[in-house]
Structure 1
């Protein structure tokens, strides 16, 4: 991930609990990191997009790993739905209609950090219009930067009019 002000690479700062630019000394908020408690500890896996080491973190009590370069995150399949429920209950963002899916996203490839096989790329069917990557063998889900927020902000309509 690069600085939006000057383009220099961002660095992790444990003191700031986030990323910052050593070149222009600005903080670097990202779409996902305010939802996540980021650890100063390195993660166990490598980013399937950037091939950089992931950083440990959590959403509530659920462990995740995230990439400081592309803002993607890795989450266990069994933890994915409970995290979405938690985020949807806490969301104060106004409900907006989700953006339509970009069909080109369905043709991307993503290697599983666990087994290095191609992950299944598919639309998430639970609302929010995001294309996610899943490894059935290893039990991982990969979300690109911004997808956790998009899925977490989705709220179904409370009533249907006929």
Structure 2
């Protein structure tokens, strides 16, 4: 598999790209998995995720962690960064943000398995943590704990 094959259809990597206006307008790209047939876990960590409360418009902050077992595709990291950044001006509850990210990734990269942890900082004194996964964790792989502490000034 040549680099031209893997990277041919990418529109954002290596170019100057502006932040998408919304998650719906964000382009999430994928690349062919150069290690097809090898079972391994990919982890993305976004410790400074932000969105807006859909009612008050106030900012919400989260630590988002995504783990997945690739199939034929990998999430292209710059496009994922831009997709996650597009939530900054997006009004949505914590649950919707977290699960929407998972479902969009699943649709794009069709992983063999995926889990996401959305560790939200308190609003009104209550932190909300959201967890989603596609099924049982894969057997025989090193799957580290997400390691985000329960809220005590997270960080």
TM-score by length of 2: 0.23
TM-score of the pair, normalised by structure 1? 0.23
Of Structure 1 and Structure 2, which has the larger fraction of its residues in helix? 2
